[in-house]
Structure 1
Amino acid sequence: MDFEHLATARHSAVNFEKDFKMTEADFEKIFNLTKTAPSAYNLQFTNYLVVMDDDKKERVRALNYEQYKIHSASAAVIVMGNRQGIEMENAEKIYGPMKMLKMMDEHTYDMTMDLIRGYSEGLKTNNTLVREEIIRNSGLHAMLFMLAAKHYGFDTCPMHIHNVADLKKEFNIPDHLEPIMLITIGKSVDKIRPRGYRKPVGEFVQFNSF
């Protein structure tokens, strides 16, 4: 479908077809589109934990107010910001092969590394800034994930994530990964309903000044 149709067709699903199962191949297609999302300096801060196993999905549900949509969804997808994304080792891993393949010359590589080093050191002085950065980048990634899912015929619902410390312990999530949101995914069984009221563009967009 074209993008206009895609954007308007995506709704947050309230309930899912309980017996519909997605496969890892389905997610592979979705994530191959999702990985094109922008990120600061292309450092790719976002990681995902896709919980498809029914018993494990129920453990996610128990930590998130027993919401039925987690039970009926094909998977509960935990979106996480990766604090190691700001580390120079990550930058070298991403940009090193580009230099080796001569997609980037030595001067441009060194200049890029210097910029990222300044960016990284600046963030490390303030934990709040690091958290803001990973949330901002993960939010961009997650939105593209939902659009990619709809492109392939799947429905999603972004959700708050609760009891994060218990969730991390339950699923052995390492300290450098911070759960940001939960996305349920599958086949919606909701009746197609009119989209909720959206403000006219003139109410939320200004040009040049207020």
Structure 2
Amino acid sequence: MIMTDFFQVAEERRSTKVYNPEVEIPREELVEILQVAGKAPSAWNLQHWQFLVFDRKEVQERLLPIAYNQQQVVDASAVVAVLGDLEADKKIDPVLDPSIERGEMTPELKEILSKQIKGAYSRDLYPRDAAFSNASLAAMQLMLAAKAKGWDTCPIGGFNPSALVSQFNVSERYLPIMLITIGKPLKEARKTDRLDIRNLIDWAE
């Protein structure tokens, strides 16, 4: 079942932790979900993310101790490790050049944007901050896309990033941000309350 109403998708998305381990997700469908995730906004459109996908039980079993033995990691149909790109400034040419070729951007504008990007990446904390903030946008879009296509998800922050990097040979260019499980639930996810949004809003004056 595919849901097309955004507000229904946002309302019904919940963090599912108990999955049916017998359900497989086709790689083609995972790619479709990740394509939508990849349409998330990012600073200068540099797309500061990389997705490491675990969709076979043997690799999910290797991931299990890294995720502190959370059973959902092996029962889910797949797990996606969302990685933040610490060197997204290296994407300037592949991101911007197609726009120049299509006549949508001038070389002069590319030069201006390139200087902005290089200036930002010369600051000590910027690459890490940008990796977290931009990759997190893609992570949220991934979960919404999965729900729209009938799959439940759960974001996981409880894992050992250094062990993930070591066990799966993740380049030092990438920073593990979170794991996201994807699958079909065996039981309905627990409903959670939300604070009154009016208590979380300040109106600037």
TM-score bracket, shorter-length normalisation: over 0.9
Aligned residue for 1:69? 72
Distance 1:106 1:8 in 2: 44
Aligned pair partner of 2:35 in 32, 37, 45: 32
The 5 A counterparts of 1:116-131 are 116-121=117-122, 123=123, 126=124, 128-131=125-128
Structure-2-length-normalised TM-score? 0.93
Aligned residue for 1:149? 146
Partner SS for 1:181: strand
Aligned residue for 1:12? 15
Contact 1:18 1:72 in 2 (8 A): yes
Stretches of structure 1 that go unaligned for 5 or more consecutive residues are none
Aligned residue for 1:132? 129
Distance 2:80 2:158 in 1: 11
Distance 2:162 2:69 in 1: 17
Aligned residue for 1:45? 48
Is 1:78 equivalent to 2:81 in the alignment? yes
Aligned residue for 1:165? 162
Distance 1:134 1:71 in 2: 27
Aligned residue for 2:62? 59
Distance 2:138 2:76 in 1: 21
Stretches of structure 2 that go unaligned for 5 or more consecutive residues are none
| Equivalent residue letter for 2:73 | I
Structure-1-length-normalised TM-score? 0.91
Report the number of matched residues: 202
Output the aligned Cα RMSD: 1.4
Deviations 1:145-194 (A, max 9, x none): 0000111111000011422222111111111111111111111122265x
